[in-house]
C-alpha cells in the first residue's frame, strides 16, 4: 500500500530557495507548452494528442533542457491527465449525460509555479538529492560564474528504510515556501474478523473537525 508523508522544507539557503522557485517556474512553463501542443492539435485535427507523441513535440522547447527529464515527463503526464478528463466529459456531453458547459483545460498563470515530481528519486546517505539537468548546471555556471552546488532533502525518520516511490517539491502560496512530499510503500495490515455489515461515516466540518456516526449508533 502506498501512503504519503508531507513536510515543510526548511533550512535551505536563500539561493537554494531561489533555485526551487526558478525550477518550479520552468515546470509551469513546460506544462503550458505541453498544453498548447495538445490544444492546437485538437483545434486542427479534432482529436486527442497522446502523451507519447506530445513528448516528442516538446523536446525543442528551451524549458525542456533546463528541467530534469523526470520532471518534464511528469509535467506532460499532468497535461495528458487533464486532456483525457476533457475528452471523457466531451463524450458524456455527446451522449446527453452532461448538461454543464465544458471547456479545454486552461493555461497556468504566467507568474505561477508547478510541482517538481521525481518518480525515481536519487537517494544517498538517507537523503534525497535534488536532481537537475546538465543544461541547467551549464547555464547556472555561465550566469552565476560558479558551479551549481548540489543540495539534498532529509528523509523523515519515520519513513527511513521504506521504499520511496515518488518525491515531489510542491510550491505553496506563490512560492513563498515549499512542501516535500514522500510517497512510500508500507505493508498493508490485514483486518481479521471484519464485520462488513457495519460501517463508520466521517463528515469533515468547518466549525468542528469531524462528525462521526456508525451503524451501532
pLDDT in tens, 181-199: 999 998 887 777 888 889 9
Residues 6+ apart with CB under 8 A from 140: 146, 147, 148
Can you tell me the distance from the alpha carbon of 211 to that of 200, in angstroms, rounded to the nearest whole number?
11
Task: Give the model confidence (pLDDT) of 152-167 as tens digits.
Answer: 999 999 998 899 999 9
So what's the pLDDT on residue 27?
98
Can you tell me the distance from the alpha carbon of 62 to that of 136, in angstroms, rounded to the nearest whole number?
11
So what's the pLDDT on residue 24?
98
Can you tell me the distance from the alpha carbon of 181 to that of 190, in angstroms, rounded to the nearest whole number?
26
Can you tell me the distance from the alpha carbon of 171 to that of 179, in angstroms, rounded to the nearest whole number?
7
Which of 119 and 207 is assigned the larger pLDDT?
119
pTM of the model: 0.85
Please, what is the average pLDDT of the chain? Answer: 93
167: how many CB neighbours lie within 10 A of its CB?
Answer: 25
> DSSP assignment, residue 206?
S
Hey, where are the domains in the chain? Answer: 2-185
93: how many CB neighbours lie within 10 A of its CB?
Answer: 14
Phi, psi of 123 (to 5 degrees): -110, 130
So what's the pLDDT on residue 154?
93
Using an 8 Å Cβ cutoff, are 136 and 66 in contact? yes
Residues 6+ apart with CB under 8 A from 72: 30, 55, 58, 64
So what's the pLDDT on residue 137?
97
Task: Give the model confidence (pLDDT) of 22-79 as tens digits.
Answer: 999 999 999 999 999 999 999 999 899 999 999 999 999 999 999 999 999 999 999 9
pLDDT at 125 > cutoff 90: no
Amino acid at each position: 500500500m502506498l501512503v504519503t508523508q508531507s513536510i515543510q522544507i526548511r533550512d535551505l539557503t536563500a539561493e537554494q530557495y531561489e533555485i526551487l522557485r526558478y525550477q518550479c517556474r520552468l515546470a509551469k512553463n513546460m506544462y503550458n507548452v505541453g498544453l498548447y501542443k495538445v490544444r492546437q492539435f485538437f483545434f486542427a485535427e479534432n482529436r486527442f494528442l497522446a502523451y507519447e507523441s506530445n513528448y516528442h513535440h516538446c523536446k525543442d522547447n528551451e524549458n525542456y533542457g533546463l528541467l530534469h527529464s523526470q520532471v518534464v515527463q511528469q509535467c506532460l503526464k499532468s497535461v495528458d491527465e487533464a486532456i483525457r478528463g476533457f475528452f471523457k466529459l466531451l463524450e458524456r456531453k455527446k451522449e446527453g449525460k452532461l448538461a454543464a458547459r465544458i471547456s479545454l483545460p486552461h493555461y497556468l498563470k504566467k507568474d505561477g509555479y508547478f510541482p517538481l515530481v521525481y518518480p525515481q528519486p536519487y537517494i544517498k546517505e538517507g537523503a534525497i538529492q535534488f536532481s537537475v539537468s546538465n543544461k541547467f548546471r551549464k547555464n547556472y555556471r555561465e550566469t552565476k560564474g560558479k558551479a551549481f552546488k548540489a543540495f539534498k532533502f532529509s528523509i523523515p525518520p519515520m519513513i527511513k528504510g521504506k521504499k520511496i516511490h515518488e518525491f515531489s517539491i510542491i510550491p505553496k502560496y506563490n512560492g513563498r515556501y515549499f512542501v516535500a512530499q514522500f510517497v512510500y510503500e508500507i505493508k498493508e495490515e490485514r483486518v481479521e474478523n471484519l464485520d462488513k455489515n457495519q460501517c463508520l461515516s466521517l463528515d469533515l466540518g468547518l466549525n468542528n473537525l469531524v462528525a462521526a456516526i456508525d451503524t451501532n449508533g
